[in-house]
C-alpha cells in the first residue's frame, strides 16, 4: 500500500516542476518588459489636408506616443495606439509613433506622409502689370516659358555654410523647376551634405546686369516660420570690392511665421565708413502674400530708388550723396529661398515643407 502513495507523490512533484519550468519559460520570453513587434497603419484623407488616422499595435506595450515634425514633445499620448491628427495645410510631414513598455524603453516607427493641395493657387490669381509703359522700353525679360531654366540668363549658386546669416539650407540646382510659365524654387526638409534643408539660389551675374530702370517681378511667396524668400540685387563688382561696397538692393524680402507673412521689406545696403542700410516695409490690409500673386517693383534712376507693391509706393531713397556711388553701377539679380537664419529664426513644428517661391515673370524697362 505504501508504493502507490510514493508514486503519487512523485507524480505530483514532477507536475509541479513542469508547471514551474513553463512559468519560467514564459517569463524569460520578455524578461525586460520591453515592447516588441510594432506595426503602424496610416490612413490619409480622401483628398487634400485633413485628419490623418494612425493606428499602432505592439506586444507588451503599455503606452503609445505620436510625434509630428521635429518637435521633441509628443503631439498625443494614449494606451490604445489609435490617433487622429489634423493637418490643416498641404505638404510633406514626418510622423513618429513610439510604443513604450513597462521597462520605460520604447521602439519606434517613422513615416513620411504627403498631403496634396487640391485647390492650388493658379497663375491667373492676383495682380499683374503690362508689357509696356509710356517713356520706357522693355530691355530684358524672362517669362519662364518652356520646361528648363534659361542658363543664358541664370546661373546656380550652390553650397551651404550659412551664407553670412546662419542659414540652414544647402543650395542646389535640383530644387529649381520651370513649368507652365512659372519658375519654382522649392525649399525642402531633407538631409543633404550635412544640411537639414535644401533650396535653390539663382543669379544673373555676368549675364544680365543693369543700371537704372523699372523692374517688375510677379511672384507668389511661400510661408511658414523660418522661411525667407528674397528677390534682390548685388553689384556686379562684388568679387573685387566685396560687400557692402558693391551695394545691395532688396526688392522684396519676407520672413515667415509669427503673423509676418503679410509684410514685405524693401531695403538698401551700402558702404559708408562701415555697413549702412535703410529700408521700409509694406503690409497687406488683408490676407498674406501666399494667397495670390503680387508684383514687386523698383523704379531706379540717377537720383532715387522707389519701391512698390502692386503699383503702391512704400519706400524711396535718395541715392545722390557721394557715399552711395554703388547705386550708379551695374547690379545683377538674385532669387532665393533661405531656411532659417538670424532674421527669421529657424523652422519649428508649425513649418510645413516643402515651401515654394513661384515667379511668373521678371521684366526690366529702361527710359527711351
| DSSP secondary structure of 111-139 | EEEEE--SSPPPTTSB----S--TTEEEE
The string of pLDDT tens digits covering residues 122-154 is 999 999 999 999 999 999 999 999 999 999 999
In which region does residue 69 sit, left (phi positive, over 0), alpha (psi from -120 to 50) or beta (all else)?
Answer: left
Alpha helices of 298-349 — where are they, by DSSP H?
none
Cα–Cα distance, 77 to 97 (Å, whole number): 10
Q: How many domains does the chain have?
A: 2
Arithmetic mean of pLDDT, 50-68? 96
pLDDT of amino acid 29: 56
> 104 with 253, same domain?
no
Query: Is residue 14 very low, low, confident or very high in pLDDT (cuts 50, 70, 90)?
Result: very low
> 103 with 199, same domain?
no
Choosing from 81, 115, 149, the residue where a domain stops is 115
Cα–Cα distance, 268 to 318 (Å, whole number): 11
Model pTM score = 0.75
Catalytic residue among 167, 248, 261, 326: 248
Arithmetic mean of pLDDT, 185-201? 96
**8-22, 64-78, 239-253, 304-318: least confidently modelled range:** 8-22
> 219 with 275, same domain?
yes
Check residues 32 and 368 and name the one with the higher pLDDT. 368
Residue 2 pLDDT more than 60? no
CATH code (residue 42):
2.60.40.2470
Cα–Cα distance, 97 to 112 (Å, whole number): 12
Residue 342 pLDDT more than 60? yes
Cα–Cα distance, 210 to 325 (Å, whole number): 15
Cα–Cα distance, 326 to 297 (Å, whole number): 20
> 208 with 178, same domain?
yes
Q: What's the alpha-carbon Rg for the chain, to the nearest Å?
A: 30
Q: Is residue 80 part of a domain?
A: yes
Residue 22 pLDDT more than 50? no
Choosing from 51, 83, 115, the residue where a domain stops is 115
Arithmetic mean of pLDDT, 241-261? 96
Residue 4: how many CB atoms within 10 A of its CB? 8
> 304 with 208, same domain?
yes
pLDDT of amino acid 314: 98
Query: Is residue 271 flagged as an active site residue?
Result: no
Residue 44: how many CB atoms within 10 A of its CB? 16
Query: Is residue 25 very low, low, confident or very high in pLDDT (cuts 50, 70, 90)?
Result: very low
Q: Are strands 213-220 and 195-199 parallel, antiparallel or unpaired?
A: unpaired
127 preceded by a cis bond (ω within 30 of 0): no
Residue 276 pLDDT more than 80? yes
Query: Is residue 30 very low, low, confident or very high in pLDDT (cuts 50, 70, 90)?
Result: low
The string of pLDDT tens digits covering residues 152-172 is 999 999 999 889 889 999 999
Arithmetic mean of pLDDT, 276-296? 98
Q: Is residue 313 part of a domain?
A: yes
pLDDT of amino acid 9: 44
pLDDT of amino acid 238: 97
Q: Is residue 359 part of a domain?
A: yes
Choosing from 46, 80, 115, the residue where a domain stops is 115
Q: Is residue 26 part of a domain?
A: no
Residue 239 pLDDT more than 70? yes
Cα–Cα distance, 24 to 203 (Å, whole number): 71
Q: Is residue 248 part of a domain?
A: yes
> 226 with 326, same domain?
yes
> 204 with 344, same domain?
yes
CATH code (residue 170):
2.60.120.200
On average, the pLDDT of the chain sits at 91
Query: Is residue 1 very low, low, confident or very high in pLDDT (cuts 50, 70, 90)?
Result: very low
Q: Which of 143, 228, 144, 231 is nearest to 187 (CA)?
A: 228
> 68 with 198, same domain?
no
Arithmetic mean of pLDDT, 165-189? 96
Q: What SS3 class is residue 358?
A: strand
Query: Is residue 248 flagged as an active site residue?
Result: yes
Residue 127: how many CB atoms within 10 A of its CB? 14
Residue 8 pLDDT more than 80? no
> 88 with 190, same domain?
no
Catalytic residue among 186, 253, 271, 326: 253
Q: Which domain holds residue 68?
A: 36-115
Cα–Cα distance, 264 to 254 (Å, whole number): 5
Q: Is residue 19 part of a domain?
A: no
Q: Is residue 28 part of a domain?
A: no
For residue 334, what is the enclosing H or E element? strand 331-339
Arithmetic mean of pLDDT, 347-364? 94
Q: Is residue 131 part of a domain?
A: no
Residue 31 pLDDT more than 80? no
Contact residues for 139 (Cβ-Cβ < 8 A; gap 6+): 210, 213, 364, 365, 366
> 171 with 236, same domain?
yes
Query: Is residue 6 very low, low, confident or very high in pLDDT (cuts 50, 70, 90)?
Result: very low
Q: What one-character DSSP code corresponds to residue 5?
A: H
pLDDT of amino acid 119: 74
> 61 with 205, same domain?
no
Query: Is residue 49 very low, low, confident or very high in pLDDT (cuts 50, 70, 90)?
Result: confident
> 170 with 250, same domain?
yes
Amino acid at each position: 500500500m505504501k508504493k502507490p502513495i510514493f508514486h503519487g507523490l512523485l507524480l505530483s512533484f514532477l507536475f509541479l516542476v513542469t508547471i514551474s519550468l513553463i512559468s519560467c519559460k514564459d517569463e524569460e520570453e520578455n524578461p525586460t518588459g520591453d515592447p516588441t513587434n510594432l506595426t503602424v497603419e496610416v490612413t490619409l484623407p480622401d483628398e487634400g489636408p485633413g485628419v490623418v488616422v494612425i493606428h499602432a499595435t505592439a506586444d507588451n506595450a503599455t503606452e503609445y506616443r505620436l510625434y509630428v515634425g521635429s518637435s521633441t514633445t509628443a503631439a498625443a499620448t494614449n494606451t490604445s495606439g489609435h490617433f487622429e491628427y489634423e493637418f490643416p495645410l498641404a505638404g510633406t510631414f514626418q510622423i513618429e509613433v513610439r510604443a513604450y513598455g513597462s521597462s520605460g524603453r520604447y521602439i519606434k516607427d517613422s513615416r513620411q506622409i504627403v498631403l496634396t493641395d487640391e485647390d492650388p493657387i493658379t497663375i491667373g490669381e492676383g495682380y499683374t502689370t503690362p508689357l509696356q509703359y509710356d517713356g520706357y522700353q522693355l530691355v530684358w525679360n524672362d517669362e519662364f516659358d518652356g520646361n528648363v531654366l534659361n542658363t543664358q540668363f541664370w546661373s546656380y549658386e550652390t553650397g551651404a555654410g550659412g551664407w553670412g546669416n546662419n542659414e540652414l539650407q544647402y543650395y542646389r540646382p535640383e530644387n529649381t523647376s520651370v513649368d507652365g510659365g512659372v519658375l519654382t524654387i522649392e525649399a525642402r526638409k531633407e538631409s543633404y551634405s550635412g544640411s537639414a534643408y535644401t533650396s535653390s539660389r539663382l543669379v544673373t551675374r555676368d549675364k544680365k546686369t543693369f543700371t537704372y530702370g523699372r523692374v517688375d517681378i510677379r511672384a507668389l511667396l511661400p510661408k511658414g516660420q523660418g522661411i525667407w524668400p528674397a528677390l534682390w540685387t548685388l553689384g556686379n563688382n562684388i568679387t573685387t570690392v566685396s560687400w557692402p561696397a558693391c551695394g545691395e538692393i532688396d526688392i522684396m524680402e519676407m520672413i515667415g511665421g509669427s503673423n509676418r507673412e503679410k509684410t514685405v521689406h524693401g531695403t538698401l545696403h551700402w558702404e559708408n565708413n562701415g555697413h549702412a542700410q535703410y529700408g521700409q516695409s509694406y503690409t497687406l490690409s488683408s490676407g498674406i502674400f501666399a494667397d495670390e500673386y503680387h508684383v514687386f517693383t523698383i523704379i531706379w534712376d540717377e537720383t532715387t530708388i522707389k519701391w512698390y507693391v502692386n503699383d503702391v509706393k512704400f519706400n524711396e531713397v535718395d541715392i545722390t550723396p557721394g557715399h552711395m556711388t554703388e547705386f550708379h553701377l551695374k547690379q545683377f539679380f538674385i532669387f532665393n529661398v533661405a531656411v532659417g537664419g538670424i532674421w527669421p529664426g529657424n523652422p519649428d513644428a508649425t513649418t510645413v515643407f516643402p515651401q515654394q517661391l513661384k515667379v511668373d515673370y521678371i521684366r526690366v524697362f529702361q527710359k527711351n
